[in-house]
């Protein structure tokens, strides 16, 4: 396996470039997969890039081009002659052309569209019409379509004639003259059938499809659920307009997972890899949430201030505030993350609200009691015993432990409900993870703490 990270390979490339040993360099690159060649080209200094790129044979060049970083693609396009640009564009699949156009600045887009052949340009414009998160926006229009009255032999002829330009030939779609989807046949079915059988006799008619405006995440989840290699996409008039292939579905799933991770860590999602994001861009994606969460901590401040005099009288209580807030936050976060993940894997839906709350309540009681017991022992043995802190009386320990039980309970119930409610009102449930939950739980735990302290210690 090629390990680009160790740098040895890059050193070799550098050496061959220095020595102008182009033939050898080309042979070395051609041993690699396009995705790996792209990684190498991405790392080259700007002035060497066009040179090395031109060493690649036309078809490989296009495959490599698709895998490169947008910045590098832009750089390359600027050095391309019109003929070179046209050559690359002719080799691209429609959906890759769309991706390219979406990433490039306006001037480059204009040049790309000018050198795209009219039919592709039509498809590209078609796809660009669909909203960003829709199935339509990630589909390709290049699929094999068959007619119901074809024989298996006809089908193979058609695949041989047109298949080279299609993104996949593993699944072929059967349409009627007005392009309505009638069924599908896999290449396996075709191969195992007799040559004179009619397509309509062997096709699967009970086809799961997506509509152009469906959420691309749902479509990706379904491809995964049904183990499909591709999913047909139909428009409002039920006409087959494209397919979403499994490789694009995987990209969507990875992007969505990354987005969830980022949102749950209070980061505004970006689709750039970590090391390619500049300092300002990173700050912009992080500062709004930090600022918001910081300012919302005003509430914890208010609660503490209103209790300042009592705290001054029984100052031992202050030392346990971080522990109570931390444990509450962690408890709530556990529940919210479990529910958020369940939601995004379609294992849970809003209708499960009661079942989820009932389960979390029981979990919360058990966790709360166990934590309280653990802490009670620790308070009396470590704080009062070992550290000789006489202020930690059994009554103070009781206040702390009762607070723990109630805080953990509230935290877990709030933590499991908020993501479900967010989903219901159309927000991303991932927003309801640690940072947000903790802010609420912080206030809750303080209020509970001071209530018990007032009642039991008579402050």
**What's the closest the beta carbon of residue 391 comes to its own copies, in angstroms?**
9
**What's the closest the beta carbon of residue 151 comes to its own copies, in angstroms?**
16
Q: Which of residues 164-203 bind its own copies (CB under 8 A)?
A: 164, 169-170, 187-188, 191-192
Q: Which of residues 52-111 bind its own copies (CB under 8 A)?
A: none
50 binds its own copies (CB under 8 A): no
Q: Which residues of 282-319 are buried (b: 16+ CB within 10 A; e: fewer)?
A: eeebeeebeeeeeeeeeebeebeeebeebbeeeeebee
The Cα 161–Cα 157 span in angstroms is 6
125 binds its own copies (CB under 8 A): no
Structure tokens at 255: 């992007």
353 binds its own copies (CB under 8 A): no
Among 163, 197, 353, 413, binds its own copies (CB under 8 A): 163
Query: In terms of CB distance, is 80 or 307 closer to its own copies?
Result: 307
3-state secondary structure of 389: coil
**What's the closest the beta carbon of residue 278 comes to its own copies, in angstroms?**
9
Q: Which stretch binds its own copies (CB under 8 A): 49-57, 70-78, 129-137, 296-304?
A: 296-304
Among 274, 388, 390, 458, binds its own copies (CB under 8 A): 274
Q: How many CB atoms lie within 10 A of CB 279?
A: 7
Provide the 8-state DSSP code for 233: E
Q: Taking the mean position of all CA atoms in its chain, how far away is CA 3?
A: 25
334 binds its own copies (CB under 8 A): yes
Q: Output helix, strand, coil percentages for the chain, rounded to the nearest 5.
A: 70, 5, 25
The Cα 360–Cα 455 span in angstroms is 28
Among 321, 357, 413, 459, binds its own copies (CB under 8 A): 321
Q: Which of residues 198-227 bind its own copies (CB under 8 A)?
A: 206, 208, 224-227
- Return the beta strands (E) in 99-236 as ranges: 145-146, 171-175, 181-186, 210-211, 230-234
Q: Which of residues 128-157 bind its own copies (CB under 8 A)?
A: 156
Q: How many CB atoms lie within 10 A of CB 174?
A: 26
Give the residue among 410, 433, 445, 430 at the shortest CA–CA distance from 299.
445
Query: In terms of CB distance, is 176 or 271 closer to its own copies?
Result: 271
23 binds its own copies (CB under 8 A): no
297 binds its own copies (CB under 8 A): yes
Could you tell me which residues come within 8 angstroms of residue 28 by beta carbon, excluding any fewer than 6 positions away?
12, 13, 16
Query: In terms of CB distance, is 2 or 82 closer to its own copies?
Result: 2
Q: How many CB atoms lie within 10 A of CB 16?
A: 19
Q: Which stretch binds its own copies (CB under 8 A): 92-100, 112-120, 131-139, 324-332?
A: 324-332
Q: Using CB under 8 A as the criterion, what x/- string covers residues 418-447 for binding its own copies?
A: ---------------xxx--xx--x---x-
Among 51, 75, 109, 159, binds its own copies (CB under 8 A): 159
Structure tokens at 385: 């015993």
Half-sphere exposure (CA, 13 Å, Cβ side) for 177? Answer: 1
CA angle 197-174-181, nearest 5°? 145
Query: In terms of CB distance, is 182 or 316 closer to its own copies?
Result: 316
Burial class (CB in 10 A: 0-12, 13-18, 19+), 451: middle
> What is the arrangement of strands in the sheet containing 210-211, beginning at the earlier edge strand?
210-211, 230-234, 240-245
The Cα 241–Cα 48 span in angstroms is 41
Among 342, 402, 403, 405, binds its own copies (CB under 8 A): 342
Query: In terms of CB distance, is 82 or 281 closer to its own copies?
Result: 281
330 binds its own copies (CB under 8 A): yes
The Cα 112–Cα 60 span in angstroms is 19
List phi, psi (to 5°) of 198.
Answer: -85, 145
Q: Which stretch binds its own copies (CB under 8 A): 104-112, 119-127, 134-142, 279-287?
A: 279-287
**What's the closest the beta carbon of residue 300 comes to its own copies, in angstroms?**
4
Q: How many CB atoms lie within 10 A of CB 18?
A: 8
298 binds its own copies (CB under 8 A): yes
323 binds its own copies (CB under 8 A): yes
Name the pairing type of β-strands 210-211 and 145-146: unpaired
Size of the site for its own copies (CB under 8 A): 118
Q: Which stretch binds its own copies (CB under 8 A): 68-76, 109-117, 124-132, 262-270?
A: 262-270
253 binds its own copies (CB under 8 A): yes
374 binds its own copies (CB under 8 A): yes
Among 315, 381, 385, 454, binds its own copies (CB under 8 A): 315
238 binds its own copies (CB under 8 A): no
Q: Write out the H or E segment, with its range, that includes residue 396.
A: helix 394-424
**What's the closest the beta carbon of residue 107 comes to its own copies, in angstroms?**
29
């Amino acid at each position: 396996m090629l390990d680009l990270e160790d740098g040895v390979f890059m050193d070799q490339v550098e050496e061959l470039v220095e020595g102008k040993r182009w033939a050898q360099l080309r042979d070395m690159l051609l041993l690699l997969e396009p995705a790996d060649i792209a990684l190498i080209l991405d790392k080259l200094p700007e002035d060497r890039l066009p040179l090395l790129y031109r060493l690649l044979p036309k078809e490989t060049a296009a495959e490599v081009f698709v895998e490169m970083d947008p910045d590098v693609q832009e750089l390359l396009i600027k050095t391309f002659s019109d003929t070179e640009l046209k050559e690359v564009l002719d080799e691209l699949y429609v959906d890759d052309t769309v991706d390219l156009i979406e990433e490039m600045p306006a001037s480059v887009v204009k040049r790309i569209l000018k050198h795209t052949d009219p039919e592709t340009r039509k498809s590209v414009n078609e796809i660009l019409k669909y909203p960003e998160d829709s199935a339509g926006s990630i589909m390709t229009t290049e699929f094999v379509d068959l007619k119901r009255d074809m024989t298996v032999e006809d089908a193979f002829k058609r695949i041989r004639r047109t298949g080279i330009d299609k993104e996949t030939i593993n699944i072929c779609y059967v349409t009627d003259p007005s392009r309505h989807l009638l069924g599908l046949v896999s290449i396996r079915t075709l191969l195992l059938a007799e040559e004179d059988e009619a397509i309509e006799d062997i096709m699967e008619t009970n086809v799961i499809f997506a509509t152009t405006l469906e959420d691309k995440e749902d479509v990706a989840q379904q491809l995964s659920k049904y183990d499909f290699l591709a999913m047909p996409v139909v428009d409002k008039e039920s006409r087959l307009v494209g397919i979403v292939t499994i490789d694009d579905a995987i990209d969507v799933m990875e992007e969505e997972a990354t987005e969830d991770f980022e949102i749950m860590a209070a980061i505004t999602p970006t689709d750039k890899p970590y090391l390619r994001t500049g300092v300002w861009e990173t700050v912009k994606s992080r500062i709004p949430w930090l600022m918001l969460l910081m300012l919302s901590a005003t509430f914890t401040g208010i609660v503490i201030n209103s209790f300042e005099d009592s705290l001054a009288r029984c100052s031992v209580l202050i030392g346990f505030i971080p522990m109570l807030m931390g444990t509450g936050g962690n408890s709530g976060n556990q529940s919210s993350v479990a529910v958020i993940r369940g939601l995004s894997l379609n294992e849970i839906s809003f209708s499960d609200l009661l079942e989820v709350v009932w389960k979390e309540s029981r979990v919360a009681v058990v966790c709360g009691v166990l934590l309280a017991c653990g802490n009670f022992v620790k308070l009396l043995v470590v704080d009062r015993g070992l550290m000789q802190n006489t202020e930690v009386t059994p009554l103070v320990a009781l206040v702390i432990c009762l607070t723990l039980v109630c805080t953990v309970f509230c935290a877990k119930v709030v933590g499991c409900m908020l993501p479900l409610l967010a989903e219901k009102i159309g927000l991303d449930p991932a927003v309801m993870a640690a940072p947000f939950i903790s802010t609420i739980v912080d206030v809750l735990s303080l209020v509970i703490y001071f209530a018990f302290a007032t009642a039991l210690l008579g402050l």
